[in-house]
Chains A and B, each alone.
Chain A
Amino acid sequence: MSRPDVWSAGALALLGLVMLVKAAELEIGPPTRPGPGFFPAVLAAALLLVALAIMTMAWRAPAVTPSAAPASERTDPRKLLATLGAFVAYVTVFERLGFLVATVALLAFLLGTLGGYRWPVALGAAMGMAIGAYLVFDTWLQLRLPPGVLGRW
């Protein structure tokens, strides 16, 4: 049994089921005159079936090794969570604090913790990158990044 496949296919099957129920709330209509719910319902049912097929195959598979990335590779989930957490925080405050403040904070954090740079270097590099990106994208290419607490200048 390939455990990761059973779980991932299970999640897909559940998603298919939920979408099927949601699609049924829309008008389905006959195949010759499909309503807004027709395609979603067919697709959700198909997803459910395919996911169940993957699940069955994974269940029967004799191999113990997961089909995903080789387990021999050393991974550090803390780094992943730190990056993801920092990015979520960045996205949350991006508009309110503004591009420059939020970006300097994100870059300095990532460079200082995961990048392995000393904090003064990390902060300096972060400011350089953020200001550089602001000048290129906002000032020159006129993309209008959020000014936030610093205001427009």
Chain B
Amino acid sequence: MDLFASLFAGFAVSLTPANLLACFTGVLVGTLIGVLPGIGPVATMSLLLPATYAMSPTASIIMLAGIYYGAMYGGSTTSILANIPGESASVVTCLDGYQMARQGRAGIALGIAAFGSFIAGTLSVLGISLLAPPLAAAALQFGPPEIFAVLLLGFTLVTHLSGGSKLKTAAMAILGMLLGTVGIDPISGIARFTFGTITLNDGVGLIPMIMGLFGVSEVLLNVEREVKQEIYRARIGGLLPGRADWKASAAPIGRGSLLGFVLGILPGMGAIIPTFIAYALEKRLARDPERFGRGAIEGVAGPEAANNAATGGALIPLLTLGVAPNVPMAILLGAFLIHGIQPGPLMITERPELFWGVVASMYVGNVMLLILNLPLIGLWVQLLRVPYGLLFPLILLFCTIGVWSEHANPADLVVLGVFGAIGYLMRKLAYEPAPLVLAFVLGRMAEESLRQSLLLSRGSFAILTTRPLAFALLALTLAAAVLPVLMAAARRMRRQAPRTLA
């Protein structure tokens, strides 16, 4: 078959020593920066971009892509061990991963994250090989109304994200969206709620906000308590997931892969939103949703699979249309252009060695990452034995460096501190930070896409229902919102029925 011949040729390209080395360097650096909180794939890819000028185009793309998907592997480690997201797509992994670590299941959490990432990564590369051209055509259908409909679906699922009071979740989601409106209005260019500061013109920074809410607040909560190191000491035990863990994780990994891949293709999605939706989906499907937030392995497996699959999905619009759906892909696009190559529909036929070489290298890179990461699990788990008195200043240090490295702006450090204090108060008062962060990310895009839709339709909301794809997505949203209520009502009626008979 043609596909196999192309893929075979791709492997021949990716297995040359120079390209193999590029792939290894990429995934190694990617894992490292994924583990280190603060420095993310975007910063690293832009820093290393000049270093790839001297390489062949294929090798440079292979290396830069390796950094991106390698970072998705490493990001889970810090989330699980320290409750700080190693990079922003691992926020959700904190929720259950950290709880697993506290219960002495750190090794298993890291293991399932690594295997889940490997499976999802490989499936998404398979997806690229098979589906790149047709899916690119579908992505072209995605305008502002469709994006708005997807975001609405996301919001509906978020309400299931938290385990606590639904009203408090709603309050945090609204607050998150409200924070998202801070900064220059994307449509009119008017500054909103910036209080005359330049820093807030770009809005509240996502990185300082996440680092503050999750990292700094965690430190504040822990220093105040009599620190219980023995929780970790108790039982670090099994390093690899057992049969029961696999049974619980298999379906979430499958669903997370599919979800991440499909959402990853869509412009503007990035890797964060798929993880939130995967988490909400797993919680929704679980027979006992109360376990989520208390160390449910599904809550690690699903989102970790989703963020790795999303990196594969994001490559599709880039390689087939020349459109960068998110910032890391924009850097990759830059790398193509520097080498005088315009990615697009013609690239597959005109530069097959490049297209299939990069795709094949991702199969190779995923295997490398698994081999690289499994032995490291034992090492990472040892980190939990470091006394907290020594660890917590380091966590503050990493949060500061991470925030500083983004813009070198002292005002961002103030934002970090403020959100650290807010996060502390929120946890004390039983408000959860995750819905706030997600609503912050989604809200900004939702406002923009709805207002763009209304500009397109000259003020008619009918644009959301007359376009078939948008209509289908809205119908799905309605079902996701109404079905749980109906099902709960049906269950109540069934329970009451025997009583009336008696």
Contacts and interface: CB of A to CB of B under 8 A. Distances in A.
A73 to B, nearest CB: 6
Contact of A94 (B167, B413, B421): B413
A135 to B, nearest CB: 12
Interface residues of A, number: 68
A50 B167 contact: yes
A87 B396 contact: yes
Contacts of A76: 224, 226
A123 interface: no
B420 interface: yes
Contacts of A15: 175
Contacts of A35: 188
B178 A44 contact: yes
Interface in B184-217: 185, 187-188, 190, 192-193, 216
Contacts of A130: 397
A84 interface: yes
Interface stretch (B81-89, B367-375, B386-394, B467-475): B386-394
B393 A115 contact: yes
A54 B171 contact: yes
Nearest to A83: B223
A125 B413 CA distance: 24
A90 B400 contact: yes
B451 interface: yes
B69 interface: no
A145 B404 contact: yes
Contacts of B277: none
Nearest to B175: A47
Interface string A17-45: 00100110011001011111101100110
Interface of B: 33, 39, 43-44, 47, 165, 167-168, 170-171, 174-175, 177-178, 181, 185, 187-188, 190, 192-193, 216, 219-220, 223-226, 387, 389-390, 392-394, 396-397, 400-401, 404-405, 408, 410, 413-414, 416-417, 420-421, 424-425, 427-431, 443, 447, 450-451, 454, 459-461
6 contacts: A40-B178, A43-B174, A43-B178, A54-B165, A83-B392, A145-B401
Interface of A: 4-5, 8-9, 12, 15, 19, 22-23, 26-27, 30, 32-37, 39-40, 43-44, 46-47, 50-51, 53-54, 57, 67-69, 73-77, 79-80, 83-84, 87-88, 90-91, 94-95, 103, 106-107, 110-111, 114-117, 125-126, 129-130, 133, 137, 141-146
A-B pairs, 5 with minimum CB distance: A115-B389, A32-B459, A36-B185, A80-B224, A110-B393
